[in-house]
Amino acid sequence: MEIGIDLCWCGTSVADSEIIYKNINNVDIKQCSHCKTVFTSPFPTIKKTISEIYDNDTLIKKKPDTWEVYCDYARFNISDFSDYKDKKVLDIGPGGGETLFLLKEKGAQTFALEINPQLINYLRNEGYIVYNNINDVQDNFFDYIFMTMVLEHIQNPLEYLTVIRNKLRPNGIIRINVPYFFGTQRKIFKRHWNAYCPDEHFWFFSLDSLRLLLDKSNLKIQSYRQDSLGKNIDKKGKIRYSGFSSFFNSLDNKSMIRLSKFIGFIDNKTNGRLGDFIRGVWNKTGDQLTVLCQKK
């Protein structure tokens, strides 16, 4: 039996799981009867190539203003730490390299782990050290490891985190960031929440299920918090909530589509202030969960 196909990551059969939402883009959303992790059923498969799932041009060929938006998000992701000078930092799933760029500016020794061949070539041409296999990464090497919106894509997260843990120095820290199924936005939009992504996402964690997963991986949570998806920090250090249009999924409900267009129109007219206000209101109960963890 296979994790991500027949079994939850905790080893429990998916056959006994509770259905939370039926038929979202031809998949169901279920919850494990044991660890309470929420997952996509049937699970994403590897029938599609990486290039079919991810738009490489979006990640690589950015206009200057789009690059800045991505950098604002990366700036928020690296804001948990300040002592980057000469630190060895691994970014898992680096996208177009915005996080690597900012870390390098701060004096860090930057490394990336990526499986997309086109992104690997692009980042290597930009001068970054990029691994395409975690087993090629040296053990006890990194001060910080970033996993930003990565863990939900991993078929066997327990096995993966166990390997990643070995790459960390004794006092190193892993920053894990995932969509948070139990946040305010999902509770409001229910089956229309924009983070399901059935072609890509296996898992949706609560704090308790993520804590259990980390515990089984011999990792302990140092701190955690909830934020709203789309939270950014601009060049001036101001917190913003850009990407408000992604607040809604590509919906099949006509009333939701109309509401989405109306709110997007008002948001544009107010230069993003409406999005800032709404996301700021529920920021601490939002749909993004971040944990910092260390070796036990």
Residue bearing tokens 């790459």: 167
d(CA 197, CA 167): 29
Residue of 145 and 24 predicted with greater confidence = 145
Please tell me the pTM assigned to this model.
Answer: 0.89
Lowest mean pLDDT among 40-49, 124-133, 285-294: 40-49
Lowest mean pLDDT among 54-68, 105-119, 201-215: 54-68
- What the block records as the tokens of 15 is 């056959």
pLDDT value at residue 253: 60
Q: Any idea what DSSP says for residue 43?
A: P
Measured at the CA of 221, the angle between CA 219 and CA 225, to 5 degrees, comes to: 145
pLDDT value at residue 209: 96
Under CATH, domain 50-295 is a member of which superfamily? Vaccinia Virus protein VP39 (3.40.50.150)
Residue bearing tokens 């090497």: 141
What's the mean pLDDT when you consider all of the chain? Answer: 87
| Residue 239 CB coordination number (10 Å) | 16
d(CA 144, CA 222): 13
Residue 258 clears pLDDT 70, i.e. is over it? yes
Residue 256 clears pLDDT 70, i.e. is over it? no
Q: Any idea what DSSP says for residue 272?
A: T
8 Cβ partners below 8 Å, 6+ apart?
14, 17, 32, 34, 35, 37, 39
- What the block records as the tokens of 292 is 């910092």
Amino acid at 230: G
User: How confident is the model over 173-194, as pLDDT tens digits?
Assistant: 999 999 999 988 888 878 878 7
Which sign does the torsion angle of CA 291, 162, 197, 209 carry? Answer: negative
User: How confident is the model over 190-248, as pLDDT tens digits?
Assistant: 887 878 887 789 999 999 999 999 999 999 999 999 987 778 888 988 887 765 555 55
Domain boundaries, the chain: 50-295
